A = this chain, B = another copy of it.
Amino acid sequence: MAREPMAREKVATRLHVEETLVAGQVVGLDHGRAHFLRTVLRLQVGAQVALFNGRDGEWSAELEGLGKGWASLVVGQQRRPQAAEADLWLVFAPIKRGRIDFLIEKATELGCSELHPALTRFTAVDRVNTDRLAANAKEAAEQCERLSVPTVAPPRDLGKMIDAWPEERHLLICAERGEAVPIGEALAEASEAGLGTHPWAVLIGPEGGFAEHELTALTRLPRAHFVGLGPRILRADTAGVAALTCWQAWLGDWHRRPPGRGST
């Protein structure tokens, strides 16, 4: 068991920035985040934070200057090198606000690399605020200690996505109706076949389900896996979180432990 006192559990505030991270580099923060550091976290000059940009790993940085609406940080030592991450998309029919925010947060914690809103025949929600979703993804990535932030793609028609589907990318289709393999069986097989390093995607339909022509088009994809998530009818957001969880547990990096918390 872990034997560290609670005090050591506290992890430095993590911020995602665009700048290249190298010792001595000065990084400025925008108004919103400077305000957050100053008035919400009540940080003062000299405070240590952690920075990452999705390319250079995680670096410690010191708060060098902090004013009303501005803050500057000086990059110190690298804390963690950039690590390879799964090439795992979530393709989802937009759902109502609150649930979609939740789904983005969870997909980020569960290691998705790209988030793709897909407009389907029975999609109930047709407008998607991708800026808000991207902000949610960024905040979740900072929180969960990822070294990258998943990208949020603009919404596209599912049919067009299927037409342009990259042949090598496996697709886990969570299907409420019809023939499907239990997700555990499908992923155990994929794991034995060593497909964990291949590109993957999880597809979640709208609450109304997929239309016939959508299902027909999906069956034509060379690497489509229709999987079942048990006898209960899961909401779209639950299905997304559950499928991504199973992917990580069977094919992903869940054999690893969080950084700097005892054993790894």
Contact = CB atoms under 8 A, between A and B. Distances in A.
Interface of A: 1-6, 9, 11, 102, 105-106, 109-111, 122, 143-146, 175-180, 182-185, 208-209, 211-212, 215-216, 219, 226, 228-235, 238, 241-242, 245-246, 248-250, 252-259, 261-263
B212 A5 contact: yes
Nearest to A264: B231
Contacts of A241: 106, 238, 241-242, 245
Contacts of A242: 110, 241, 245
Contacts of A109: 232-235, 238
A258 B238 contact: no
Contacts of A234: 109-110, 144
Contact of A230 (B2, B3, B106, B253): B253
Contacts of A11: 233
- Counted per complex, copies of this chain come to 2
B215 A255 contact: no
A209 B249 contact: no
B1 A178 contact: yes
A219 B1 contact: yes
Contacts of A255: 182, 184-185
Contacts of A212: 3, 5-6
Contacts of A215: 1-2
A185 to B, nearest CB: 8
B261 A177 contact: yes
Contact of A177 (B4, B246, B248, B249): B4
Contact of A254 (B122, B184, B248): B184
Contacts of A209: 6, 9
A257 B144 contact: no
Closest 7 CB pairs of A and B: A2-B178, A2-B177, A230-B254, A177-B261, A231-B256, A242-B245, A184-B249
